[in-house]
Homo-oligomer: A and B are copies of this chain.
Amino acid sequence: MTSPSSLTRPRFAGVVPPVATPLLLDGAVDHASLARLVDYLIGSGVHGLFALGSTGETAYFTDDQRIEIVRTIVDATAGRVPIIAGAIELTSARIIETARRIVATGVDAIVTTAPLYTLNSAVEVDAHFRAIAAAIDVPLWAYDVPVRVHSKLSLDLLMGLAADGVIAGVKDSSGDDVGFRRLVAANEAAGHPLQLLTGHEVVVDAMLLAGADGVVPGLANVEATGYVDLWDASTRGDWEATRAAQERLNRVFEIVFQPTGLSGDATGVGAFKAAMKARGIIDHATMAFPTQALDAGAVERIEGILAELDLLAERVAR
C-alpha cells in the first residue's frame, strides 16, 4: 500500500473542476477543444483538475479512449496544477487494471467508488479500497456518489481507511450535508488525514463554511473564474462576498434546468456543453453515445441565461 509522506503528496484543495470531455460531431474525442478547456480552467486560476469524472462522461468511454483523454489533459496541464483521475469500473480487479493504465499517463492521484453492480457489505468495500490502494503507486481517493453507485460510504468506513493511510481524500457527491459535516468534524479530530472536496455546485459557500477543503464543480467548465472568486473570498473569511459569488453562480447554474424530458446525464452535462460551446470554450456540444442531444429551444434558453449574465459578451479567447 502506498503511504506517501505529506511532503510528497500532491495537495488537492481549492477549486478542482471535473474536466468535461469535448467530442467531435462523430463522437471522437476533440483533443484541440480539450486542450483549450484545460487552458481556460488553469488560466482562470483553478487549483487542480479532476480528470475522467462523471462530468467527463468517463463511464461512456472505453479504456483506450480514457487514456487518450487523460493524456491530453496531462500534456496540456504541463505540471501547472495537480491532476486526480477517476478509475470507474465494476470491481476491485477491474479497477486496478484501469487505474494502472491511467497512473502511467502521469496523473497525481486516483479516485474510485465502491463496487458497482455487486451486492457488498461494508467489510467488503473496505477490503476493496485497501486492495486498490496497495496496487497503485499514487494516492487513492474515495468517491462517494450514491446517485450512481446506489450505496453510501459511511463515516466509519472512511475514517478507518484514513487512519491506515489507505485513502488521501474524499470527493463527496453524496448530497448528504449532515453526513459531510460529521465527516469534516471527525477528520479534524483525527488530525486532518483526509482532503475533503465537495462535489456540490450551488451550496459551495455553505460547504466551505462547514469546513470543506475545496470543491469539484462541474459548472466551472462554463464559468471557472466565479468559483475561484468564491474560493478566494472564503479564504479571506469574507462570507458575505463568498455568498454573493455563490448566488451569481447559481444564476448561471439555472442552465441545467432548461432541458426538459431528457435523462440526468443529457440534462446536466448537456447544459454544460451547450454553454461551453456558446462561450467558445469548446467547438461542439456533442455528447457521448447514447446520451441524447438538447433541442434547439433548450440551447436558446441556455444562451439567454448566459447573455443576461454577460457571459457571452466576451467569448473566451482561443
Partner of A237, one of B89, B115, B240: B240
- The reply on A128 being an interface residue by CB < 8 A is yes
CB within 8 Å for A90 and B93 given contacts A123-B292, A148-B118: no
Is the CB–CB distance between B200 and A203 below 8 Å?
no
CB within 8 Å for A115 and B247 given contacts A88-B90, A121-B292, A127-B290: no
Pick out which of these stretches binds chain B: A205-213, A222-230, A297-305, A308-316.
A205-213
Chain B residues lying within 8 Å of A250, measured Cβ to Cβ, are: 181-182, 185
Q: How far is the CB of A180 from chain B (nearest CB, A)?
A: 8
Is the CB–CB distance between A59 and B91 below 8 Å?
yes
A261 to B123, CA, bound (A): 10
Q: How far is the CB of A165 from chain B (nearest CB, A)?
A: 19
Per-residue CB contact flags for chain A residues 106-130 toward chain B (1 = under 8 Å, else 0) read 0000000001111111011101100
- The reply on A11 being an interface residue by CB < 8 A is no
Most B CB contacts (10 A, CB to CB) among A61, A62, A119 go to A119
Chain B residues lying within 8 Å of A7, measured Cβ to Cβ, are: none
A80 to B205, CA, bound (A): 35
Is the CB–CB distance between B291 and A120 below 8 Å?
yes
10 A-B pairs with the lowest CB-CB distances in the bound complex, closest first: A119-B264, A206-B206, A121-B263, A239-B239, A127-B290, A124-B290, A59-B117, A59-B90, A177-B177, A119-B265
- The reply on A296 being an interface residue by CB < 8 A is no
Partner of A243, one of B61, B202, B209, B289: B209
Is the CB–CB distance between A88 and B59 below 8 Å?
no
A178 to B218, CA, bound (A): 15
Is the CB–CB distance between A117 and B148 below 8 Å?
yes
